Amino acid sequence: MSERETKIARMRELGAQLLAASKAYYQEDREIMSNLEYDKLYDELVGLEQETGMVLSGSPTVTVGYEAVDELPKERHETPMLSLDKTKDVGTLADFAGEHEVLLSWKLDGLTVVLTYENGALFKAVTRGNGEVGEVITNNARVFRNVPLKIPHKGTTVLRGEAVIRYSDFERINREIDDEAARYKNPRNLCSGSVRQLNNEITAQRCVYFYAFALVRADGVDFENSRERQFLWMKEQGFDVVEYKKVTGSQVPDAVRAFSEAIAQNDFPSDGLVSVYEDIAYGQSLGRTAKFPRDSYAFKWQDEQRETKLVEIEWSPSRTGLINPVAVFEPVELEGTTVSRASVHNVSILKALRLGIGDEITVYKANMIIPQIAENLTGSGNAPIPERCPVCGGPTRIEDTGGVESLYCTNPDCQAKKIKAFTLFVSRDAMNIDGLSEMTLEKLIGKGFIHEYADLFHLDRHRDEIVEMEGFGEKSYENLIGSAEKARRTTLARVIYSLGIPNIGLANAKLLCREYQDDLDRLRGATAEELSEIPGIGGVIGAAVVEYFRDAEHNRWLDDLLDELSLYREETDESAQTLAGKVFVITGSLMHFPNRNALKDLIESKGGKVTGSVTSKTSFLINNDVHSASSKNKKAKELGVEIISEQDFLDRYTQNEEEKIS
């Protein structure tokens, strides 16, 4: 590792340490390092940024504020972004290189983005779009996890790369979505939606990474006709560059083999490789066809396929009632592992494949990772769609949502629904009852000990049976009972979250309880229209809440549960609610707060609200650049909303009570 690379690595390390310390101090009321140590590390980071001339994404020395826009503007690319000619044949790829040196690199499976830097600062980010015109996503690119906000080179710099979401982050995001039907199908789709969000706070939460794969322009820099020098230069500027190997045609087969063997360990999605001539002038001299440039060639993985026989369709119910079809087939070896199952996702795909028990099918691993059915060679179409739930025996129905048919269990007492629902109910952010894993809950429900939420607080009625259960004993039983007793004292927000209302996480539950001052009757009686007007809730969530409380059984369960609980309100100093009724929008960088969330927390602690867009209901727009021509400033002026600086806010906030934000 060069000295410069060592400094960049240290900058990343310092940034992570300082951000962790800041989060602990400002958001969690705890200290993980002293002020002296923080200042020392901060000064070291500032010094390294000055030495290297770069500022990495997320650096504590800068604040990249979250900002919502009404739409993503379109912009024409400086040079067209053509597709690449493709092959699945290694020999063809080797012939393309011939005696010339080529750079062989990953073809990442995400969304292509073009970044432009002016005077060393990130100036613009645009998606590939149709190759001619893309969408401007500059605000979102600023919160990518690894995009430099400032680079040493002061001339105009334009480069292309792929925005991706790693498999580990994709799986984490899906785990946080309780409704299986709402989970994302693959990292590529999730990335595409994340990069093109109107509110970049959502983009930031999705953990998008950027990997540069081509330099379009770098004013004043001589790369000596070498594509590799361009890659190395981009790396020196602070960019993560796609992994590559420099090879000639005769070395291509071994290089492809090495890349393919690395896929199983990769945390990023890839659907092939890209080959580009190392000699820039030679590549450019070849020109282009009507569709493709001739200096590059794409290689798509030749999916290893195996024929096998479909043994059964397994139907797997979830707590939402959705019953997912899973194809079970005779085991085959694919990409070095044995596979015997593949998700079919929904009834529409099942019908499209015309699946039937005993059919000869071909299977493969999408991107060499995820087992899929490629083709049905028999097409008998005789796979039965169950009219009864495989778990509870209750009736099923097919629902059509946006042209996609899915199977649902209609029995509200379905055991599978209960297991998943109770798993959420006892989880840490909900009622926090330790000792109740999904497997344990399955046993307790199967034995008839649990029928509704309130029963969890009367497990003492079944003491003897529980103590004798496999994996239990006297100690485990006592711990479980103690945890349940401790869980009786809780907040209404935790209760609302624990009910499993679609799209209601703990944050939304808190928001609802704050809006209705912990008055459950008012919340139960709210209309969808009223709920949709609450900032951060909207129509979809509002309708879900109304639908939930419209069900008599849901209300009975909740009433029985409340009889077991002692609810308390989180302490709020009513005399300090000086911002009650005021709605704020925060934009631009801050100087007195580590981030916008810190200022937002202060406003909300005083009874105010913070939203993402300026509307007629906005009381104040906080922007340190009061006179800027930003879209939010323009909107505020149009609506007569007062624009105040961060210092204005603090001055009013810290003066006498009657003078505060009046």
Residues carrying an active site annotation: 107
Alpha-carbon Rg of the chain, whole angstroms?
Answer: 29
303 and 285 in contact (C-beta within 8 Å)? no
Report how far Cα 331 is from the mean position of its chain's Cα atoms: 33
Q: What is the DSSP letter of 383?
A: -
The enclosing H or E element of 111 equals: strand 111-118
419 and 451 in contact (C-beta within 8 Å)? no
Per-position DSSP letters for 410-432, written without gaps between them: --TT-HHHHHHHHHHHTSTTTT-
Q: Which of 142, 389, 122, 96 is nearest to 252 (CA)?
A: 96
Give the contacts of 336 (CB within 8 A, at least 6 positions apart).
264
Q: Is 305 helix (H, G, I), strand (E, B) or coil?
A: coil
* Phi, psi for residue 266 in degrees, rounded to 5: -70, 145
Q: Which of 318, 316, 446 is nearest to 386 (CA)?
A: 316
Q: How far apart are CA 521 and CA 516, in angstroms?
A: 9
Beta-ladder partners of 341: 328
Q: What helix, strand, coil percent values describe the chain, rounded to 5?
A: 40, 25, 40
Sign of the torsion formed by the C-alpha atoms of 252, 257, 261 and 263: positive
Residue with the two structure tokens 């890349």: 259
Give the contacts of 74 (CB within 8 A, at least 6 positions apart).
129, 133, 134, 135, 136
157 and 116 in contact (C-beta within 8 Å)? yes
Give the contacts of 500 (CB within 8 A, at least 6 positions apart).
178, 319, 421, 424, 425
* Phi, psi for residue 380 in degrees, rounded to 5: -70, -30
| Residues in the chain, overall count | 662
